[in-house]
Amino acid sequence: MSTTLLTGPDVAAHSTRESCWIIVHGKVYDVTDFLDEHPGGSKIILKYAGKDATEAYEPIHPPDAITTNLPLEKHLGAIDASTVAKVVKEVTEEEKHRQAMMDARPPLENIINMHDFEIVAKAVLPEKAWAYYSSGSDDEITIRENRTAYQRVWFRPRILRDVSKVDWSCEILGVKSSLPVYISATALGKLGHPDGELCLTRAAANHNVIQMIATLASCSFDEIMNAGAPGQQFFLQLYVNGDREITKKYVQHAEKRGVKGLFITVDAPQLGRREKDMRMKAVDDDAGAEVQKGQNVKKDEGVARAISSFIDPSLSWKDIPWFKQITKMPIILKGIATAEDAVLAYEYGVQGIVLSNHGGRQLDTARSGLEILIEVTDALKARGYFPDPKFEIYVDGGVRRASDVLKAIALGAKAVGVGRPFLYAFCSYGQAGVERAIQILRDEFEMNMRLLGARTISELVPEMVDASSLRAHTVMTPADNLFNITYQPLTVAKFKES
Ligand code: 173
């Protein structure tokens, strides 16, 4: 790094596409040649040309994004802070309102279920972050179906089984977990909390829960690993880069650092159109993430689309042997949606599949993971592939209750992925929120397993659920008007009076 000390006017003289310098974290960079490579587009950088970009950079980039992407000769030196005019940032009405809502959040002990986190997150998140996180694709039929599907499965509880002791701990890919739940990958955590995904890491460490690290996390892979406690276990979610060398390096680095499972996302050759996100036109302002190298970006298509151009749509079954060659980590295909592909996955020799529709963010009107589970286990059984301790099936999407998890496990899942609820928990309350979410799940597991008559995970059997309506997508019931008029709806956590 150069030891040159530069001044504000030095930097301000380079404020064009032809010569573009910016300041980040007290250092000056020449990003002229990088403009067209920036995964979030050049427009956002040009907005800060000749100026300090730290504030816009900080929430969505890992600290080492610039230093690793920009050749050393473009690191021009340090800025003499006394020569840079302090920009007093105007606090908008929206920000004031959000801060007021943050101050009036329900006390954490009043949060008693996963839905509570969601309602708080909606109130306290910047509009763009909420739009990005909460969005499903197209008409959002699938995102809603992910919830509804669980309500079409009913319990068949067993009684008089001495349930004084119940144990819901399990192993996922041979890794011990205090819950049959892992924290599923979600991207861009710093849009919602300054510590981003580290909130998940720290909470997971305290409760022995496995975190799946997202390729597009705001925090870098190493930051997250370094924040882990001794012995803490991680999985990695992988978006496969058009440049396979980048992917190979990333995967092998993860393996070296001890990651216990490689979850390759297979349901996103192109990113779904998330209209709430798109309407925010976020790309103009602050798109970006810890992405591997991207090319030109499409404009006005939302945060996710802006930074996903590196994802390779040519990925195919032919690539699976290559993955097996470059890593010894168990390989899991995340985003299987049919029995046919589940059978193929088994025959290609991967160690597991996640039945998932990407949280309702990809193909709209794709079925819920829970529904797919039945046809998948049937097809695998018919071929003698199930049960097989070397092939695990997971489900994600729409899980809000331990009772949901118990249904999936009874139907053959080994564990369940939970994404948004943990994300909303840390956006609302940081690490403490995630710990509370885990505690709530634990309480729900204890109660539901007792009431269901299952003392261990292995006692959760298909006979404990009635899933006969699961595949019927039009279980219409006439509106029960009188009941509805008299029914007192459940309420969500209340904000303090301001
Ligand atoms: O669902 C997503 O938003 C997602 O997977 C993603 C993909 C590319 C960039 C950011 C997020």
Residues 225-245: what's their mean pLDDT?
A: 97
Percent above pLDDT 90 for the chain: 76
Distance CA 86, CA 52 (A): 9
Nearest atom, ligand 1, residue 187 CA: 11
Cα of 216 vs centre of ligand 1, distance in Å, is 7
Ligand 1 pocket residue status of 283, Cβ below 6 Å: no
Cα of 360 vs centre of ligand 1, distance in Å, is 12
Nearest atom, ligand 1, residue 311 CA: 8
Distance CA 225, CA 206 (A): 15
Ligand 1 pocket residue status of 297, Cβ below 6 Å: no
What sections of 198-287 are H helices per DSSP? 198-207, 221-227, 244-256, 275-279
pLDDT band at 300, cuts 50/70/90?
Answer: low
Two structure tokens written together for 225: 């690993």
Evaluate if residue 138 carries a pLDDT over 60.
yes
In this prediction, residue 283 carries a pLDDT of: 43
Report yes or no: 357 and 395 within 8 Å, Cβ to Cβ: no
In this prediction, residue 289 carries a pLDDT of: 41
Q: Give 197-208 as a DSSP string.
A: THHHHHHHHHHT
Element (H, E) at 146: helix 141-151
Residue of 477, 405, 427 lying closest to 197 (CA atoms): 427
Distance CA 404, CA 409 (A): 9
Helix (H, G, I), strand (E, B) or coil at 425: helix
82-86, 369-373, 391-395, 428-432: which range is least confident on average?
A: 82-86
Ranges 270-279, 282-291, 375-384, 470-479, most confident: 375-384
One-letter identity of residue 420: R
Pairing status of strand 175-177 against strand 170-172: antiparallel
Distance CA 237, CA 233 (A): 14
In this prediction, residue 285 carries a pLDDT of: 47
Dihedral of alpha carbons 229, 230, 233, 234, sign: positive
From atom 6 of ligand 1, which residue's Cα is the shortest distance away? Answer: 304
In this prediction, residue 59 carries a pLDDT of: 66
Residues 313-324: what's their mean pLDDT?
A: 98
Evaluate if residue 61 carries a pLDDT over 50.
yes
Distance CA 390, CA 77 (A): 53
Query: Mapped to the 3 state alphabet, what secondary structure does 455-476 carry?
Result: CEHHHCCHHHEECCCCCCCCCC
Evaluate if residue 281 carries a pLDDT over 90.
no
Evaluate if residue 46 carries a pLDDT over 50.
yes
Distance CA 53, CA 70 (A): 16
Cis peptide preceding 387, ω within 30 of 0: yes
Burial of 163 per CB tally in 10 Å (0-12, 13-18, 19+): middle
ipTM surpasses 0.85: yes
pTM of the model: 0.89
- The pLDDT tens digits of the residues spanning 334-377 come to 999 999 999 999 999 999 999 999 999 999 999 999 999 999 99
Residue of 332, 403, 396 lying closest to 359 (CA atoms): 396
| Residue with the larger pLDDT of the pair 160 and 70 | 160
pLDDT band at 498, cuts 50/70/90?
Answer: confident
Residues 406-427: what's their mean pLDDT?
A: 98
Distance CA 106, CA 370 (A): 32
Ligand 1 pocket residue status of 216, Cβ below 6 Å: yes
The total number of residues written for the chain in this structure: 498
Return all residues near 105 (Cβ < 8 A) that are at least 6 apart. 120, 123, 124, 428, 429, 495, 496
In this prediction, residue 296 carries a pLDDT of: 46
How crowded is residue 458: how many other Cβ atoms within 10 Å of its Cβ?
A: 10
Phi/psi of residue 352, nearest 5 degrees: 180, 170
74-78, 205-209, 417-421: which range is least confident on average?
A: 74-78
Two structure tokens written together for 34: 């990088």
Cα of 461 vs centre of ligand 1, distance in Å, is 35
Ligand 1 pocket residue status of 334, Cβ below 6 Å: no
Cα of 423 vs centre of ligand 1, distance in Å, is 14
Distance CA 304, CA 278 (A): 9
162 carries an active-site annotation: no
How far out from the chain centre does Cα 263 lie? 12
Catalytic residue among 52, 267, 341, 404: 267
Evaluate if residue 96 carries a pLDDT over 80.
yes
For a substitution probing ligand 1, which of 308, 312, 356 has the most ligand atoms within 8 Å of its CB? 308
pLDDT, mean over the chain: 91
One-letter identity of residue 249: K
- Tokens 């955590």 belong to residue: 189
358 carries an active-site annotation: yes
For a substitution probing ligand 1, which of 240, 271, 357 has the most ligand atoms within 8 Å of its CB? 271
Dihedral of alpha carbons 432, 434, 437, 439, sign: negative
Residue of 251, 233, 256 lying closest to 324 (CA atoms): 251
443 carries an active-site annotation: no
pLDDT band at 288, cuts 50/70/90?
Answer: very low
